[in-house]
Structure 1
Amino acid sequence: MTRKGATLTGFIAVLLWSLLAVLTVLTSPVPPFQLAALTFAVGAGVGLVWGAATGTLGRLRQVPVAVYAMGTFGLFGYHALYFSALRLAPPAEAGLIAYLWPLLIVLLSGLLPGETLRRGHVAGAVLGFAGAALIILGGRGVAGTGAFAGYALALLCALFWSGYSVLSRRLGGVPTVSVTVFCAATAVLAAVVHMVTENPVAPSAVGWLAIIGLGLGPVGLAFFVWDIGVKAGDIQVLGTASYAAPVLSTMVLVLAGQSPATWALAGATVLIAGGAALAARASAKGPIVTPTDV
């Protein structure tokens, strides 16, 4: 595959991730860990098909156990927090806060050897957090503490994924088919936690379609195509493209009628996306860390 082709393949992940929030909302009231177990089971199925089609299933034995542990920890933790946040807080706002991870990855990457933290990175982070503050302080009249708990989980989600991503950069390249094991292990772990802490809920017909959609796309195929993009494509372009995800995600939620179009939401979108773009521009002279360098 050419460099341009790999870059375009990686961009498919950005488009798929823009559907994560709206599909998650449609699975309600399925509890978070049950949802993670079901969607990642579908994602593992996608991986088996991927491995069979590419003839790479045999390479799974070559991947170190530490890589499998890191990948499982990252996928399980991020999505458990993400699904929980969208159950407690308004989905568009929680989703935007969770999408602070591109900014945080850029900032944290400055701690790595050979990386430089520039003023543009800091300025971008400030704008991004201003957008998150606009959402949280606005409150949109949501009663109770559930929404604020959801916002906190969304912020933790962003911190979790960015920290995991920067640490995973040190693990080196592994075959894309390894994502299959990440998904399968995450599904098993989520199922165990679900049985211990949650009461099972039978999804509606729409819920089942959304669960399958999540497993096939944002929680399945997206990880595989992104892996190809960051390893063989233009990482700078993909890093910038990933900042479009929160804007696209919010637009999808509004168009689907799952979230109202408000000035606060629009302002937060502009601040977060603008801050991310500013940070990406500051990274133009050096490498940028991307969320699936495992």
Structure 2
Amino acid sequence: MLIKLLPPMTRPIATMIGLTAILLWSSNVGLIRTVTADFGAIGGAALIYSIATVILFFSIGLPKLSTVPKAYIIGGSVLFVACELCFSLSIGFSQNSRQAIEVAMVNYLWPTFTLIFAIIFNQVKSNWLIVPSFILALLGICWVLGGGEGFNAVQMLNNIQKNPLSYSLALGAVLSWAAYCSFTVKKAKGSNLVTLFFCLATIVLWIKYLTIGGQPLYFTSDNILNLIMAAAALGLGYGVWNIGIIYGNMTILAGASYFTPVLSALFAAMILNTPLSLVFWKGVGMVTLGAILCWMSTSTTKANI
């Protein structure tokens, strides 16, 4: 496991390494969309997770499963795999680049819903700010899905009806991730099974590809490069994040992670060569601000206790 071979590092350096995870994850949407356009939604996702699993095996490794609560192995596996499948396939099944970015923004409701789940299931205290911040995040998604017109319920429903599968999968990713985080806090007892979870996601994707079928996998120098970059962004993202949360400043890392939607939309627009309107960016800003205010509603309460 490479993380154990690293020399001693200062907290600021570890924090900087952890922050690179946010940049890597922010490139996921554009890179996954590029790969799935070449290999198909299921085949592309299976290839990405296969390589990412190898990266995680050598960077993080596997814990001794005998020391991990069985409830977490089972429950964590189901929730994490469900989240990763929903996330990757929601982008893979999108009909065009613009829709892929919209779907990704739905997925970035996860910080808000994670805090909501923590309040409901983990007895995390919050103040009155949680309600308007939650509404703000949801309104931001409505703005994103309004098709350049801001909040427009008819246009938003028309957008969703064009590809209900992708938008439903994105919402599934949000809810399963929030449930996973809540479940992990209760049951994990410090265990990190991300490598195992990625391996299971890979197996499920290949089973789905072989049984349901997918488009043939034709390799070229260009799509191999895109595949490696997508897998590296996904796998190395978890690897460097692990370094950050172990040795770095978790407060800085958590705060910075709330800006992922903005960076993700920016990187996706650049990678996919897709211009985004000012109205879209306003929606992204509302989602981000809503998540930050949700976080403030819990951290402020903790500070007052």
TM range (shorter): 0.7 to 0.9
List runs of 5+ in structure 2 lacking aligned partners: 1-8, 148-154
Aligned partner (choices 34, 41, 47) of residue 38 of structure 1: 47
Match for residue 235 of structure 1?
250
- Over residues 187-232 of structure 1, what are the superposed CA-to-partner deviations in whole Å (9 max), with x where a residue is unaligned? 11211122122324315533322222222222x1222332343455
Equivalents in 2 of 1:143, 1:203: separation in Å? Answer: 32
Match for residue 183 of structure 2?
167
Q: Residues 71 and 179 of structure 1 are in contact (CA less than 8 Å); yes or no, is this contact kept in structure 2?
A: no
Amino acid at match of 1:110: I
Alignment of 1:54-93 (within 5 A): 59=64, 62-86=67-91, 87-88=93-94, 90-93=99-102
Aligned partner (choices 246, 262, 265) of residue 247 of structure 1: 262
Equivalents in 1 of 2:130, 2:63: separation in Å? Answer: 41
**Matched residues, percent identical?**
22
Q: CA deviation at 1:97?
A: 0.9
Q: More deviation in 102-111 or 181-190?
A: 181-190
Q: More deviation in 11-20 or 255-264?
A: 255-264
List runs of 5+ in structure 1 lacking aligned partners: 288-294
Q: CA 1:11/1:167 → structure 2, altered by over 3 Å: closer, same or farther?
A: same
Amino acid at match of 2:125: T
Match for residue 157 of structure 1?
173
Number of residue pairs aligned between Structure 1 and Structure 2: 281
Q: More deviation in 114-123 or 143-152?
A: 143-152
Q: Residues 43 and 215 of structure 2 are in contact (CA less than 8 Å); yes or no, is this contact kept in structure 1?
A: yes
Q: Residues 91 and 259 of structure 1 are in contact (CA less than 8 Å); yes or no, is this contact kept in structure 2?
A: no
**Aligned-residue RMSD, C-alpha:** 2.8
Q: Does 1:225 align with 2:233?
A: no
Q: CA deviation at 1:248?
A: 0.3
Equivalents in 2 of 1:119, 1:229: separation in Å? Answer: 31
Q: CA deviation at 1:130?
A: 0.4
Q: CA 1:64/1:40 → structure 2, altered by over 3 Å: closer, same or farther?
A: farther
Aligned to 1:259, the other structure's residue is in SS state coil
Amino acid at match of 1:31: G
Match for residue 196 of structure 1?
211
Q: Residues 92 and 259 of structure 1 are in contact (CA less than 8 Å); yes or no, is this contact kept in structure 2?
A: no
Q: Higher Cα Rg: structure 1 or 2?
A: 2
Q: Residues 72 and 183 of structure 1 are in contact (CA less than 8 Å); yes or no, is this contact kept in structure 2?
A: no
TM-score normalised according to structure 2 size: 0.80
Equivalents in 2 of 1:258, 1:186: separation in Å? Answer: 29
TM-score normalised according to structure 1 size: 0.83
Q: CA 1:233/1:122 → structure 2, altered by over 3 Å: closer, same or farther?
A: farther
Q: CA 1:278/1:18 → structure 2, altered by over 3 Å: closer, same or farther?
A: same
- Over residues 219-278 of structure 1, what are the superposed CA-to-partner deviations in whole Å (9 max), with x where a residue is unaligned? x12223323434554333222211111100111122234322212211111111111122
Aligned partner (choices 30, 41, 55) of residue 22 of structure 1: 30
Q: CA 1:155/1:175 → structure 2, altered by over 3 Å: closer, same or farther?
A: closer
Equivalents in 1 of 2:240, 2:75: separation in Å? Answer: 19
Amino acid at match of 2:72: V
